[in-house]
Amino acid sequence: MHTHARFLPAFVTCGLALSAMAHGAGNLATGAAVKASSEKTEGPAKNAVDGVESDESRWIANANNDKNPWLEITLAQPADIAAVDVYSGWRSEAQLADFDISVWENGQWSLTDAGRVRGNKEDVRRVLVSARNVTKLRLSLPSGGPGRIREIAVYGAADEAAGTGVKAVVRPGGPVARNVHQIALNQVGFQTAWPKRFTAPLSPDGTPFIVRAASGGSPLFQGVIKGNIGDFSDFKPADSDAEYVVEVKGGTLRDGTSDPFWIRTDLMKERFWQPAVDFLIDSRSVVGTHPSAYGGCPWRDGTYYDAILPALVMFQMADPARIAAMPRQIDWEADKKRVLDPSFKYFAGDPGGKGALDIARRYYQEFEPPKADAPDVVKLIHWGAGFYLLNPATTDPSGDPDGRKIHSQTVEQVAYVIWAWPVLKQWLPQSFYDRCKTLCFENWKPSLENDPLTDPATYKPISVLNQGSGMGGDLNPFKGRHAPGHSIVPNLLMHEVAKREKRADAGKYLDAAVVQAAWIVKTLDWNDPRTTKGQRMSEHRTIPNLVWLLKNYPDRAPAGLKEKIQQWAEVAVHRGDNLWDFRRYDEDSNWTIPRMNDVGSIVSFPACAVAASWAVDDPALKRRLLELAVAQADAAFGRNPRLAASPSLPELGFTGIERGWPVQHTLNICARLELCRGSISGSPGTEMYPFKPEGRYRHPEGWVNYGASWCISLAYLNASNAGNLPGL
């Protein structure tokens, strides 16, 4: 792990104390009197100045009877004011768009142009107001409505740190200083031949930057900031253990120095592949780092749509030599002895966990084991497929209306195993293949049809995410359960298996894949973000599947398929045109899916962008897709508004991360994934974009579905220059 503390970005660690020393006043609304034109019982006016910013402490006007709501604050004593921060909205619903801030000075109300706010899309909006000897100020709603004001803070200085004097705003991680050139980049590092970009969110165009050795010395590369982005892709040093930093200097801001990072030819394999495998070792149900089975699947909190088996197969195929060189950690015989011991303590209280211990014990008793020298990836494939052979009917514990059954996507996962058998058979017994093959062919009928829940007609509006917990129930498509085209590649794999087995029905699987792809060409509109980023971590089941068909069966590709993939690429590139190179959710106010943890979408996107780059002809579009693919990976490891990497406990499995995610999932509940190495937990939501690092955090959790998506993206990134995934 890097140890160069002097390179950490400048954070305001005690925002309130530092601001008070600098300006002497802090939040002038503290202790102020307040009244309103109306208020609801659950949202009294006093909540707007109680120093607490939260959904549970808001002023809510009675919009039914009050057509011109206002809130008036009387300061404890006259004061000169320069800034008013207005915190508005509810959960991830829209913020207060239109409002006026008037001040009472010299015996009369004064409203300046700066005080007229229209079209606001920020949950924390700073209004600059230059007024002297103010005793009162008023927030008015010219368009009416409930207001939903979480808090109002008043400051005597325009550069007062955001969140000063407001609880729950100075969140874990602390405020970020605005008087320094902040530098957000991948804290771990960069692959030598790939794009190397960073974001300097406060630095104006033309500001110079350099890259130098972290240990000091003269510049090794020089450039300038453009659109808050620095690009040093042309800096390609020879492989070494040296670390580098970016320095940005100039203008009115203090000099900024980045986190140290590596640049190496195979950095992704060296720093990310082993943690990705470690995560899937540790998160196994029953035998992993916690003796439980939340959800009742092979991996804790796994689901029929987690795509873990496809991820493992793709990982194995991506670089068999690399996988074979990894240390052997799974000891099948030792795990068997431990689980079969009558004194084995199993926690059966989780949803879906009842019966999982019996399944695990049957697994060790009924199946021939993998060879002892099999790579851990292969042993994980044996574990996952074996568990499903014994327990094919599952249910998603997050309120999935589909209920318990043998889901088509469960069977589709096992199809990857039998397709890859020519590679796997050197370590796995023939009897295992025979059982997997039987499961697939006997339960394949639903996968020949188009999954009805992939139809946009079944999609919910984003407002559904503000109902209840926002994480369970019928949330199609936002939960990621039914990605369009999820059956395309599985059908292509079954086509190849059927040919290998000399079955007469081999053609029907290819025909089904073609029909499903044609349906996507005809039906999906990529301009609707629910068909793209709205699929969350499961988007890799759509675009890469279409590309797989186009590349490997070009004579059967439906009309318009290549053009459809290019259209997706153009939409993605358009939505990624910002200072973060971040493919956002829509072009309105949502950078991410409202309310939900977005990290799964981030780590899934590289697979989509790399695959799409293989299908487009325009060299500039190809290059930009790779830039975006790398940028999303960078976002997961530090190039984001919070200037933090996604793992909340980076010391478990990762190297080179200075600051992990500042918040973590509640310990010792649900799937206990905080106990796993290589867990990827959280990322900024819309509340922190474009640069509001003190914004509210989303629910952090290192879901196994995210781990699978990351494996798949790592496999695609590894093949980015090859133009296709490795075949058999």
Give the DSSP per-residue string, 635-677.
Answer: HHBT-STT--BS-SSTTTT--S-SS--S--PPTTSTT-GGGST
533 and 596 share a domain?
yes
**What pLDDT is stored for residue 403 in this prediction?**
93
Domain presence at residue 713: yes
pLDDT at 570 over 90: yes
373 and 431 share a domain?
yes
**What pLDDT is stored for residue 74 in this prediction?**
96
274 and 218 share a domain?
no
CB atoms inside a 10 Å sphere around CB 151: 28
550 and 641 share a domain?
yes
Q: Per-residue pLDDT tens for 600-652?
A: 999 999 999 999 999 999 999 999 999 999 999 999 999 999 999 999 999 99
Q: Which residues contact 468 (CB under 8 A, 6 or more apart)?
A: none
Using CA atoms, how far apart are residues 410 and 414, in angstroms rounded to an integer?
Answer: 7
The one-letter amino acid at 57: S
Question: Could you tell me the CATH number of the domain that includes residue 55?
Answer: 2.60.120.260
- Chain position carrying tokens 């049957």: 362
pLDDT-derived band at 346, boundaries 50, 70, 90: very high
Mean pLDDT computed over 670-689: 94
Domain presence at residue 3: no
Task: Answer yes or no: are the C-beta atoms of 283 and 707 closer than 8 Å.
Answer: yes
**What pLDDT is stored for residue 695 in this prediction?**
85
Using CA atoms, how far apart are residues 325 and 273, in angstroms rounded to an integer?
Answer: 12
**What pLDDT is stored for residue 463 in this prediction?**
86
* DSSP label at residue 180: B
Question: Could you tell me the CATH number of the domain that includes residue 220?
Answer: 2.60.40.10
Domain presence at residue 515: yes
- Chain position carrying tokens 């368009």: 143
Q: Per-residue pLDDT tens for 284-331?
A: 999 999 999 999 999 999 999 999 999 999 999 999 999 999 999 999
pLDDT-derived band at 53, boundaries 50, 70, 90: confident
Of the three residues 155, 188, 205, the one that is the final residue of a domain is 155
Domain presence at residue 163: no
Task: Answer yes or no: are the C-beta atoms of 667 and 683 closer than 8 Å.
Answer: no
Domain presence at residue 5: no
Domain presence at residue 461: no
Domain presence at residue 36: yes
262-264/189-191 β-pairing: parallel
Mean pLDDT score across all residues of the chain: 93
433 and 558 share a domain?
yes
Q: Which of 118-122, 132-136, 713-717 is modeled with the greatest confidence?
A: 713-717
Task: Answer yes or no: are the C-beta atoms of 260 and 185 closer than 8 Å.
Answer: no
Cα angle for residues 486, 491, 492 (degrees, 5° grid): 110
210 and 89 share a domain?
no
Mean pLDDT computed over 507-527: 99
Of the three residues 265, 287, 314, the one that is the final residue of a domain is 265
Using CA atoms, how far apart are residues 320 and 450, in angstroms rounded to an integer?
Answer: 33
563 Ramachandran zone, left/alpha/beta (phi>0; psi -120 to 50): alpha
Range of the domain at 224: 180-265
Of the three residues 265, 280, 307, the one that is the final residue of a domain is 265
Mean pLDDT computed over 667-694: 92
390 and 435 share a domain?
yes
230 and 297 share a domain?
no
CA R_g for the chain: 27
Task: Answer yes or no: are the C-beta atoms of 156 and 80 closer than 8 Å.
Answer: yes
681 and 566 share a domain?
yes
Domain presence at residue 6: no
Per the structure, how many domains does the chain have? 3
pLDDT-derived band at 223, boundaries 50, 70, 90: very high
574 and 499 share a domain?
yes
**What pLDDT is stored for residue 586 in this prediction?**
97
Could you tell me which of 416, 417, 413, 406 has the C-alpha nearest to residue 443? 406
pTM of the model: 0.86
261 and 283 share a domain?
no
577 and 547 share a domain?
yes
**What pLDDT is stored for residue 554 in this prediction?**
98
Q: How far is CA 520 from the centre of its chain?
A: 25
pLDDT at 9 over 60: no
Question: Could you tell me the CATH number of the domain that includes residue 693?
Answer: 1.50.10
Mean pLDDT computed over 554-567: 99
pLDDT-derived band at 510, boundaries 50, 70, 90: very high
